[in-house]
Amino acid sequence: MKDRINRFLRKHTKPDKSIRRPNLKGTLGRKARRLREDLKGKSAREAALLALSRIRAFLEEGLDNGYHTSRHSRLSWLFILPSLAGVCLFFFLPFLVVIFYSFVNNPVQHRFVGFANYIRAAGNAAFLLAAGNTLKFTAISVPLAVLLSLGLAVMMDTKIPFRSAFRTAFLTPMMVPVASVILIWEVLFHYHGLANDLIGIFGAGPVDWMKSEYAPIVIATLFQWKNLGYNMILFMAGLASIPRDILEVARLESASSLQIFLLIKLRYLSSTIVFVTIMSVINSFKVFREIYLMTGNYPYDSLYMLQHFMNNTFNSLDYQKLSAAAILMSLIMIVIIAVMFKAENRISRDLEY
């Protein structure tokens, strides 16, 4: 049976002549002889480091010489093509259309007006209110979400009792639908809700939470409750990937727990911190869903976000102003993310994983 299979394969398959099969036996022999000569007179530590560096160089050389043929490269692009086409069709091309609309007078005449739409959007009172509220909410809620989730992850990384139960409790909000969350929050913060009953015990009068200056606090609490569990899991994965030998060496050198956290763990968590921050910024822009379901198109002034402005402008069919505002928001997001990536590269450039 084995001979029949081999004959069938030789008959129906063609050898890929573009694959270079290196002579591993001869190559390894030459490398070993050269390494043996270089190790003469070296100490044990120097010999180990030299051997490791040569092995790493050999592996990198093998990858560079590689076995990736042009045929394999074409197959790789063939697999990527459907996703690439979807990204171009549903993301890249619409973004180009938005840029085009931001520079014309209307979608019908297409007359170029320069930066007039940007000036009109930047001078619009509703846009300024929405941008200010969104930036304030993001500037407060995102750092708080990162710090709280990092603290929870560090606590969960220690051997505390009922760790699995705590982890499940923090992940539960991720499984609750948005509509159910809104119902819970309306029960809590309704004019006749539980929050007013609690403060009434202390003699305080009832508060219309969603139509007062306390409304951003209510939404910020909702944001933390929804996102802490997800961010905590990401940080726990980052803590688990820190090399244990580095932590052991630090403990042997009498480093305190605070020094280990600040000087080692935080540096290795830099990539995770950047990722969690970016995801939290994106989620802070999505908080519009909860606000819209609770307050509608025109909420209390402190809750009027950029998404409200986009939604209301779209309803009025003012595509030019909407496109200009979307581009301005995208530029702000790009600058923020670029700064975070630049900071992360400076912090983690000397780390070895």
* 10 against 92, higher pLDDT: 92
Name the residue range of residue 32's domain: 20-65
Query: Could you report the per-residue pLDDT of 258-292, keeping only the tens digit for each?
Result: 888 888 888 888 889 988 998 898 888 888 888 88
Q: What is the pLDDT of residue 245?
A: 85
Over the chain, what is the mean pLDDT? 80
pLDDT at position 166 over 60? yes
Q: What is the spatial distance between Cα 320 and Cα 316, in angstroms, rounded to a whole number?
A: 11
- Regarding whether 245 and 128 lie in a shared domain, the answer is yes
Counted domains in the chain: 2
The partner residues of 104 in beta bridges, in order of sequence, read 112
274: domain CATH number is 1.10.3720.10
Distance of CA 330 to the CA centre of its chain: 16
Which of the pair, 219 or 343, is modelled with greater confidence? 219
Rounded to whole angstroms, the Cα distance separating 171 from 162 reads 14
pLDDT at residue 21, rounded to an integer: 47
- Whether 233 and 279 have beta carbons less than 8 Å apart is answered as no
33 lies in a domain?
yes
Same domain for 169 and 239, yes or no, is yes
Measured over the CA atoms of residue 151, residue 157, residue 160 and residue 162, the dihedral's sign is: positive
**Closest C-alpha to 138, from 338, 343, 332:** 332
Same domain, yes or no: 281 and 139: yes
Same domain as 24, residue 166: no
pTM attached to this predicted model: 0.70
Separation of alpha carbons 84 and 100, rounded Å:
22
Name the residue with higher pLDDT: 137 or 17. Answer: 137
